[in-house]
């Protein structure tokens, strides 16, 4: 697949997913117009590599269906979910999932992108929607620091998980029970 002009992430390639450094998942929520996504990340800080795998990219998921998919793929591993859906996060937590809301502050998108651009990204080959987004996620204008709000559902989920691990002052304490 060809890359759009001015894509934000150029630091990626297709490769095998490696979870030797543990997994933290990111989740973005949608329903009728946008998909809900679940993205697995594993960060190798020593070699500055982030392994990424898409598990869920689907519209119309109910809370029960989302909880079942999260349990299937993440189990007891931490999920960092979009904080714009606090009710959904509370419902998923009540169903036994290890989930927290991402922290979004001023410039959190730009900051998360800059954290991710500092690493080599290894994308699992079956992550077709993630790859499509990587090939199409661009800045709003040339020399802009605002991305187009499109082609970003997997990428937002990826950014939530990675920012949580790399920007969180309690980096070693991922589990919230």
Is residue 172 pLDDT above 60, yes or no? Answer: no
User: Are 50 and 116 contacting, i.e. CB atoms less than 8 angstroms apart?
Assistant: yes
CB of 160 within 8 A of CB of 81? yes
Residue 71 lies in a domain: yes
For 1-21, how does the pLDDT look when each residue is reduced to its tens digit (9 = 90+)? 667 777 899 999 999 999 999
pLDDT category, 147, cuts 50, 70, 90? confident
Please check whether residue 5 lies inside any domain of the structure.
no
- What is the model's pTM? 0.91
pLDDT above 90 for 157: yes
Confirm whether 177 is domain-assigned: no
Q: pLDDT at residue 170 above 80?
A: no
Q: Give the separation between CA 11 and CA 23, rounded to whole angstroms.
A: 20
Distance (Å, whole) CA 136 – CA 168: 28
Distance in angstroms (rounded) separating the CA atoms of residues 121 and 12: 4
Q: What is the DSSP string of 14-45?
A: EE----TT--EEEEE--SSSS-EEEEEEEEET
CA atoms within 13 Å, Cβ hemisphere of 121: 26
Asked if residue 62 belongs to a domain, the reply is yes
Q: Is residue 176 part of a domain?
A: no
Residue 58 domain-assigned?
A: yes
Domain assignment present for 32 = yes
pLDDT at 137 over 80: yes
The phi and psi torsions of 158 (rounded to 5 degrees) equal -60, -45
Top-ranked range on mean pLDDT: pick from 1-15, 51-65, 138-152: 51-65
Average model confidence (pLDDT) across the chain? 90
Number of structural domains, the chain? 1
CATH number of the domain at 160, please: 3.30.420.280
The DSSP secondary-structure symbol of 56 reads: E
Q: Which residue has the higher pLDDT, 140 or 168?
A: 140
Q: Is the pLDDT of residue 175 over 80?
A: no
Distance CA 169, CA 113 (A): 18
167 is written with which tokens? 């920007």
The model's pLDDT over 43-54, given as tens digits with 9 standing for 90+, comes to 999 999 999 999
Kindly state whether residue 37 falls inside one of the protein's structural domains.
yes
Mean pLDDT calculated for residue range 85-103: 97
Residue 36, domain extent: 12-167
Cβ burial, residue 11 (10 Å; 0-12/13-18/19+): middle
């Amino acid at each position: 697949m060809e890359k759009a002009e001015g894509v934000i992430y150029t630091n990626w390639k297709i490769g095998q997913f490696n979870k030797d450094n543990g997994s933290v998942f990111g989740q973005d929520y949608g329903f009728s117009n946008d998909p809900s996504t679940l993205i697995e990340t594993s960060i190798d800080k020593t070699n500055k590599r982030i392994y990424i795998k898409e598990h869920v990219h689907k519209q119309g998921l109910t809370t029960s269906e989302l909880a079942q998919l999260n349990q299937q793929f993440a189990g007891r591993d931490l999920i960092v979910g979009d904080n714009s859906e606090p009710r959904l996060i509370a419902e998923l937590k009540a169903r036994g999932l290890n989930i927290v809301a991402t922290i979004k502050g001023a410039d959190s998108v730009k900051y998360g992108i800059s954290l991710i651009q500092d690493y080599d990204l290894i994308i699992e080959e079956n992550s077709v929607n993630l790859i499509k987004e990587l090939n199409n996620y661009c800045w709003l204008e040339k020399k802009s620091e605002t991305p187009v709000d499109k082609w970003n559902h997997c990428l937002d989920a990826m950014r939530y998980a990675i920012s949580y691990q790399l920007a969180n002052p309690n980096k070693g304490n991922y589990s919230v029970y």
